[in-house]
Amino acid sequence: MLIVSRTPLRVSFFGGGTDYPEYFEEHGGAVLGLAIDKYIYLAALRLSGIQAYNFRLSYSKVEHLDEVGAIEHLAVRAAFQHYRVEAPLDISVMADMPANSGLGSSSAFSVGLLNLIAHLNNENVTKLDLALRAIHLEHDLLRENVGVQDQLHAAFGGINRFDFDGKRYRITPMAMRGECQQHLLRSMLLVHTGIARHASEVVDEQLRRTRGGAIDAQLGGMMGLVEEAAATLLMGQPETMLRRLGAMLDEGWRLKRSISPYVSTPAIDELYAKAKRLGALGGKLCGAGGGGFLLVLVPPEERAAFIERIAPARVISIGLDTEGTKILYR
């Protein structure tokens, strides 16, 4: 029996940094973003048991082994041990986008893996169940310094506002008018910085400053933009909505750059300034910082010229995923 899960990556617009327990358990938090039509796919095939191994894992490397405890992939090993996956399996991982791009791939992987495991175990689970399980896997089992928005975006899909109050999460889909949503989606571009980011140094410094209260003002300002942006997305005038959202993204990027010296680099700053000169209304670096992709908003009628003139930087067009993690085949 073959089971295939598909789980979307995400772009966060506003509020990133307030979704860490170190902040929201004391101050509350809120983020606004969307799941995109770029995915991580995981395929699980039950083995007959006559192979020379009990488990085969294929990702950036290939593992053949007999015991779950010998699995080198930390997330797979922890999830298999916690949910008692014992049947011989062949697991393959495929992705539309490279890792370390700031698009939430680690959490999308966790959500997709847990969706596979739930179906292997014949469990009935909700999208919230999967998001909470992924948060537990990453925070409690793997002890990783990650927020909680990526798991929610991956599980639910769509354009959403997520609010965090202590241990409670509130999910608010953005009910946009059709013409405004399409205008927004036609304006979004990802510009690759050419830098493969490793977020640990950025996040470690950010959390150190968060615990000490050194960036409360910046994080409070970033959370305030969530409220303003949510109201803006619900406007009925597409061009005005896009201009206002672009200006807010620009302000959010200014605040984000001030929370840690590791968020940006001179090369990233230069690329962002070039994007603005070429017509971008605003943008931000995706993820914690240090590299990966810049998200920019470019009026649809200027997209072709922007893509041509910002070369040699590579540009990716993105759309909206509305389904979240799902089982494609079983």
Q: How far apart are CA 77 and CA 86, in angstroms?
A: 11
Mean pLDDT, 10 residues at a time, over the chain (330 residues)?
Answer: 95 94 93 98 93 94 95 97 94 93 95 97 95 97 94 98 91 96 97 80 82 90 95 93 97 92 91 97 91 95 96 96 92
- 90 three-state secondary structure: strand
Architecture of the 178-317 domain = 2-Layer Sandwich (3.30)
Domain 2-175+322-329 annotated CATH 3.30.230.10: yes
- 137 three-state secondary structure: helix
pLDDT score of 198: 65
Cis preceding-peptide flag for 299 (omega within 30 of 0) = no
Listed by start position, the domains of the chain span 2-175+322-329, 178-317
pLDDT score of 244: 97
Burial 75-89 (b: 16+ CB within 10 A, else e): bbbbbbeebebeebb
- Are 46 and 88 contacting, i.e. CB atoms less than 8 angstroms apart? yes
Q: How many CA atoms lie within 13 A of 112 on its CB side?
A: 29
Angle at 80 between CA 292 and CA 61, to 5 degrees: 45
